[in-house]
Structure 1
Amino acid sequence: MTVVRRVAERVSGAREAARRATLLPFLVRVGVFLTVLVGFTVAFPVDIWFGDALPALLVTALLPALGPHRFWPTFAALVTVAGWLHGTFDQGERIALWRLLLLAVLLYLGHNLCALAALLPYDAVVDPALVVRWLARSAGVLLAAGVVGVLLLTVAGVGGDRGMLPVTIGGLSVAVVVAALLGWLLRRR
């Protein structure tokens, strides 16, 4: 009887949240869903989309929008990466740089929108300027990452005989510096 009561309470709570929901938090959650779904479209091979996996992918894209402060955004990102790995290594698709960069952008944007959605309650009255500033900051990060990426690719001479080793070393160096900076900032608090 307690399980039925808990389920009834959750359904009642979901109905109350839907009744009190406001437009901007809802639109942010729609943005989460669409970003994750487009990420799945870029990551997974085409034959997956026309197979039996479509309902599971739609539900997996919906979960981060419904629970952005839980495990679901991480789960959706892992599914996206697994789809790209499946398409690249199991299906033998070529590694296209544009596809990989677009996937990285979508993963970052999905993560960032989930962070915003987790901060906004369903019934929050939000100034649209807040969302615009949040998205502008995200665009700035993506632009800076794109500039650094192009510089690293130029230094590496992609397409030449030098390969991708300088890009790999540069990317790992940036990751180490960012991790060290974040650790320093956490200890500083």
Structure 2
Amino acid sequence: MIEELREYLAGRVGRVKDMRERAAAGPLLVRLGIAVFAALSMVLAFPHQVTRNLAGIVVAGVVALLPAAFPRGRMVGLAIFACAFGWLIGTFVYDQPLNVTRLIALSTALYLTHSLAALAAVLPYDAVVSPGVLVGWLLRAGGIVAVSAIVSVVLLAVVKVVVGPVFLVASLVGVVAAGALAWLIARRA
């Protein structure tokens, strides 16, 4: 049993060495983008009281690096869940005001983290990736984020104008608009 464990660990170390030697710039750049957007998500999600101390910075850094290192696993979901948890802590425990700009920035960073993780999950370490592929991927993701932000802000303005029993109708219109937008995007793809 100890010999099998030793062989397994030697195989893993050999695989890491092989991946390090064969890694190409494109997949590494995608993984760097995942780490940057995940770290940005952590900073935007958690209250400043948590992210200003050393322990908070270390935890945020580790959680931001996990999806970059393991984009195929559950680490991407863990990082997104940690951000949602941080947003709830900031809102309910630290009484941070709900700010639309911060919320849109957080949702943008989370979406780009998730989108880049999906790209990294299908890219081998040694893939040669054209810069046009990466730029195109980010432009499509940016377009989705921009349209979502515009629709969200417009719907928030409608909700502020229409308060009361009509609020439910506005919410349902928002859900229908989001569904229609998703259908249009899926249809074009």
User: Which category of TM-score, normalised to the shorter sequence, fits these structures?
Assistant: 0.7 to 0.9
1:121-152 Cα offsets, whole Å, 9 max, x none, are 11001111111111111111112112211221
Name the residue aligned to 1:143. 146
Equivalent in 73, 76, 93 of residue 76 of structure 2: 73
Name the residue aligned to 1:162. 163
Q: How much is the aligned-residue C-alpha RMSD, in angstroms?
A: 2.4
Note the 1:38-49 alignment, pairs <5 A.
38-49=40-51
Does the 8 Å contact 1:25/1:122 carry over to 2?
Answer: yes
After superposition, the Cα gap between the structure-2 partners of 1:41 and 1:9, relative to the gap in structure 1 and judged at 3 Å, is: same
Name the residue aligned to 2:30. 28
Note the 1:98-113 alignment, pairs <5 A.
98-113=101-116
After superposition, the Cα gap between the structure-2 partners of 1:21 and 1:178, relative to the gap in structure 1 and judged at 3 Å, is: same
Identity of aligned residues (%): 34
2:95 is paired with a residue whose SS is coil
| Inter-partner Cα distance in structure 2 for 1:59 and 1:178 | 35
For structure 1, list consecutive stretches of 5 or more residues without a partner in the other structure: none
1:80-121 Cα offsets, whole Å, 9 max, x none, are 100110111111111111111111111111110111111211
1:28 is paired with a residue whose SS is helix
| Inter-partner Cα distance in structure 2 for 1:41 and 1:65 | 17
Task: Tell me the CA shift for residue 71 of structure 1.
Answer: 0.6
Task: Tell me the CA shift for residue 46 of structure 1.
Answer: 1.6
| Inter-partner Cα distance in structure 1 for 2:6 and 2:178 | 48
After superposition, the Cα gap between the structure-2 partners of 1:93 and 1:34, relative to the gap in structure 1 and judged at 3 Å, is: same
Task: Tell me the CA shift for residue 33 of structure 1.
Answer: 0.1
For structure 2, list consecutive stretches of 5 or more residues without a partner in the other structure: none
After superposition, the Cα gap between the structure-2 partners of 1:74 and 1:167, relative to the gap in structure 1 and judged at 3 Å, is: farther
| Inter-partner Cα distance in structure 2 for 1:167 and 1:106 | 27
| Inter-partner Cα distance in structure 2 for 1:3 and 1:91 | 47
Q: TM-score, normalised by structure 2?
A: 0.85
